[in-house]
Amino acid sequence: MRASERAYRTLRQEIIEGQLPPGSILGEVEQSARLGLSRTPLREAIGRLVSEGLAAPSSGRGTVVTEVSLDEAEDLFDLRTVLEVLAARRAAVHANPEVFGQLAARFESAAEPLRQGKEPESYYWLTTELDDAVDAACANAYLAQHLRSLRIHLARLRRFSRNDPARLAASATEHAAIARALADRNPELAAATTTLHLHHALAHLQSHQTEPAEPTEPTEPTGPAGPTPDHPTSTLERTP
């Protein structure tokens, strides 16, 4: 992996998870030393973060992590609904029934453990698998690209929402319904189940908000399969 790609993924993950909170200065000297690379690849990585809206130049301070607020939630979900419903419709046309049937079964199995308070990390990775499968099946690279970009900003909002076992279980059931509709290659049902899930996700975010958790020390992001080249935003990107 190129040094600039590694730096980009690490910094992006730290911003999403709050380890680099809004207002953090992305100083080239400090970050180069911390990440163990030269300033040229770091500069490339920061440029990508700026292009995605995760960082921005600040007069007299260099480049800083951008602010994030629940005030943005409704606007982001307006766009998310349009794009994800369209992707679900398109994906249903091209869907591999076996792939989405297996995903549906895994979501159904996840619901009860979540209701009983199981930590949701593996569940969020499962939602990322569904995102990847929908992105691939929708057969529209431009649509998938915009969705990946949007999910980065939605992931930052998730830190404002408490993990509610009942909501997580309901969310797993909703995702199972989406996956079943895709396995059945039913565009209308896929669109309807996606719309319902996003409506509930936004309502939960707005009514169960809390202060973002205190950031922890930055670490190299890891996961069950690690970041993948074709889907570098494969981290915990869903809202419940």
CB count, 10 Å around CB of 2? 11
The CA-CA-CA angle for residues 30, 215, 51, to 5°, reads 60
User: Whole-angstrom distance between the N-terminal and C-terminal Cα of the chain?
Assistant: 32
- Burial category of 71 from C-beta neighbours within 10 Å (exposed 0-12, middle 13-18, buried 19 and up): exposed
* Residues 43, 55: Cα–Cα separation, whole Å: 12
Q: In tens digits, what is the pLDDT along the chain, a chain of 240 residues?
A: 789 999 999 999 899 888 999 999 999 999 999 999 999 999 999 999 999 999 999 888 789 999 988 888 999 999 999 999 999 999 999 999 999 999 999 999 999 999 999 999 899 999 999 999 999 999 999 999 999 989 988 888 877 776 789 999 999 999 999 999 999 999 999 999 999 999 999 999 888 665 554 544 443 333 333 333 344 444 444 566
The answer to whether 155 and 125 are in contact (CB under 8 A) is no
| pLDDT for residue 172 | 97
53 — alpha (psi -120 to 50), left (phi > 0) or beta?
A: left
User: How far is it, in rounded angstroms, from Cα 14 to Cα 41?
Assistant: 17
pLDDT at 91: 98
In the chain, the amino acid numbered 161 is S
How far apart CA 198 and CA 190 sit, in angstroms, is: 12
Q: Which long-range contacts (CB under 8 A, 24 or more apart) does 66-72 make?
A: 66/22, 67/22, 67/23, 68/22, 68/153, 68/156, 68/157, 70/157, 70/160, 70/205, 70/206, 70/209, 72/153, 72/157
Q: How far is CA 150 from the centre of its chain?
A: 8
pTM (two decimals): 0.78
Say if strands 62-65 and 55-58 run parallel, antiparallel, or are unpaired: antiparallel
How far is 186 from 226, CA to CA, in rounded Å?
A: 32
CA dihedral for 7, 13, 14, 15, sign (positive or negative): positive
